[in-house]
A = this chain, B = another copy of it.
Amino acid sequence: MDELGELKKIDREVYLLRHAAAVLGWDQETYLPPKGIDERSEQLALLQGLAHERIISDRTGELLDKLGSSRESPRGRYGTADLDGAFLRAWRRRYDRAVKLPKELVVRLARAASVGQAKWAEARKASDFPAFLPFLREILDLTIETAGRIGYAEHPYDALLDEYEPYMKTSEVDAVFENLRRDLVPLVSRISGAPQPDDAFLYKDFPPEAQERFGRRVLDALGFDRERGRLDVSAHPFTTTLGYDDVRITTRYNRNNFAGALFGSIHEFGHALYELGFSKSIGGTILAEGTSLGIHESQSRLWENLIGRSLPFWRYWYPEARELFPDAFGSVSLESFYRAINRVRPSLIRVEADEVTYGLHIILRFLLEKELIAEKIAPKDLPEAWRNLSGELLGIVPENDAEGVLQDIHWSMGAFGYFPTYALGNLYGAQFYSALRRDVPNLDDRIAGGSYSDIALWLESRIHSHGAALTPKELCEKIGGGPLDPSFFIRYLEEKYGRIYEL
Contact = CB atoms under 8 A, between A and B. Distances in A.
Interface of A: 13, 16-17, 19-20, 23-24, 27, 31-36, 38-40, 42-43, 46-47, 50, 225-230, 232, 242-246, 248, 284
Nearest to A36: B246
Contact of A246 (B39, B243, B246): B39
A244 to B, nearest CB: 5
A227 B35 CA distance: 6
B39 A244 contact: yes
B16 A46 contact: yes
B23 A43 contact: yes
A36 B33 CA distance: 24
27 contacts: A17-B46, A19-B39, A23-B23, A23-B24, A23-B27, A23-B43, A31-B31, A31-B230, A32-B246, A33-B226, A33-B227, A33-B230, A33-B245, A34-B227, A35-B228, A35-B246, A36-B228, A36-B242, A36-B243, A36-B245, A36-B246, A39-B243, A39-B246, A39-B284, A40-B243, A43-B243, A50-B50
Nearest to A39: B243
A299 B202 CA distance: 54
Which of A19, A43, A46, A248 has the most chain B CB within a 10 Å cutoff? A43
A16 B24 CA distance: 12
Contacts of A17: 46
Contacts of A13: 46
A449 to B, nearest CB: 28
Contacts of A36: 228, 242-243, 245-246
Given A27-B27, A50-B50, A245-B38, A19 B33 contact: no
Pick the 9 closest A-B CB pairs, nearest first: A36-B246, A39-B243, A35-B245, A20-B43, A35-B227, A34-B227, A36-B243, A16-B46, A35-B228
B33 A246 contact: yes
B230 A39 contact: no
Contacts of A242: 27, 36
Contacts of A226: 33
Contacts of A228: 33, 35-36
